Chain A
Amino acid sequence: MNTFLMPMVTVSSIVFVIGLIGLVINRKNLIVLLMCIELMLLAANSNFVAYARVNHHLSGEVMVFFVLAIAAAESAIGLSILVALFRHYKSIDARCLSQLKG
């Protein structure tokens, strides 16, 4: 039975790397940084799904479920931090956040 393991792993690693490159090249806009993190989580979840299929074991899918729950909480908190920052600095440029720099 064709399980698409290697194509799936390849596609998800490509998506993970795209998210990583996005983290490096979009260093200014905090919203895009959050979206790149979501992309990387999506790629990791795709790997979990593919390996759960190959191993005939549902633990990988349960792990995806938990990752989805935690990622939802993470994006809610991240977006609310973003709104609070925007109220304070009138901008979401990541370079404004240099108060802790010595």
Chain B
Amino acid sequence: MLELREIIFWIFSFGLICSALLVVTTRRPVWSVLALVSAFVCAAALWVMQGAEFLGLALIFIYVGAVMTLFLFVVMMLNQESLTAERLRRYALPFALGLAGFLLFLLWHHAWPVSVAASLPESRFTGTNTQALGRMLYGSYVFEFELAAFILLVGMISAIGLTFRGKRAGNKAVPVEAQLNVSSKDRLSVATFKDAS
């Protein structure tokens, strides 16, 4: 008799695997993006079942909300409608299946019962998951946290730098340099009137 938790777990695992297969096999990039969204939602449900509530919600907010929207924008902007069926090289599929079999073999024969908890910084499951994660992030891992923030900044700058092509012709934005170089003579002229009487 299956427990309810197990039923939910297997439903979401099945959804995750099916949508991952759809991502890989479909010929239309938009379907592929939508299947990846579904895979992320299923994985977030699995993570919440494993007790990682904050990360599951962050996966939905960050990935489904931001990154997959970016993917969708790019797919629509590049307008690659269904690709013509590509011809696989002869060794591609056997190579992939062999690699997959090798990895699964490694995973099944080295199910690592390793406990590395003793060598890691101290942590306890106190409070909610979010509180404990926040204490670790701003405690033992604060340097890495700042490094991740810096890498995000670098990513933002490089994304802008790679896609920015200067102002287009006919842009109606205010020219800042002309605005700063203005002097009072250009804006204000003192008119003098002759005395009419």
Interface set of A (CB-CB < 8 Å, partner B): 2-4, 6-11, 13-22, 24-29, 31-32, 34-36, 38-39, 42, 45-46, 49-50, 52-53, 55-59, 61-62, 64-66, 68-77, 79-84, 86, 92
Which residue of chain A has the shortest Cβ distance to B40 in the bound complex? Answer: A42
Interface of B is mostly: helix
For B162, give the chain A residue with the smallest CB separation: A80
Instruction: Decide if A28 touches B83 in the complex (CB within 8 Å).
Output: yes
B residues less than 8 Å from A4 (CB atoms)? 9, 49-50
Whether A32 contacts B29 by the Cβ 8 Å rule is: yes
Q: Let me know if A76 and B155 touch, CB within 8 A.
A: yes
Q: Which residue of B lies closest to A46 (CB)?
A: B43
Whole-angstrom CA separation of A81 from B159 in the bound complex: 8
- What 5 A-B pairs are tightest by C-beta distance, nearest first? A73-B155, A22-B24, A24-B96, A17-B100, A80-B159
- Residues of B near A69 (CB, < 8 A) are 148-149, 151-152
A-B contact pairs, 29 of them (CB 8 A): A2-B6, A3-B50, A4-B50, A8-B46, A14-B20, A16-B103, A21-B99, A25-B92, A35-B32, A36-B23, A36-B24, A38-B63, A45-B55, A49-B52, A50-B50, A55-B116, A55-B117, A62-B133, A65-B133, A68-B55, A69-B152, A72-B67, A73-B151, A76-B155, A76-B159, A77-B162, A79-B74, A80-B158, A82-B74
The dominant DSSP class at the A interface is helix
Write the residues of chain B forming the contact surface with A, with a CB cutoff of 8 angstroms.
Answer: 3, 5-6, 9-10, 13, 16-17, 20-21, 23-24, 29, 32-33, 36, 39-40, 43, 46-47, 49-52, 54-55, 58-59, 62-63, 66-67, 70-71, 74-75, 77-78, 80, 83, 86, 88, 92-93, 95-97, 99-100, 103-104, 107, 111, 115-117, 120-121, 123, 125, 129, 132-133, 136-137, 141, 144, 148-149, 151-152, 154-156, 158-160, 162-163
Given A13-B104, A59-B123; A72-B66 close (CB under 8 Å): yes
The verdict on A79 contacting B151 (CB below 8 Å), with A25-B24, A68-B59 known, is no
Pair count A-B, CB < 8 A = 212
Contact A32 B78 (CB under 8 A): no
A59-B152 in contact (CB<8A): no
Q: Which residue of B lies closest to A10 (CB)?
A: B107
A55 vs B117: C-alpha distance when bound (angstroms): 7
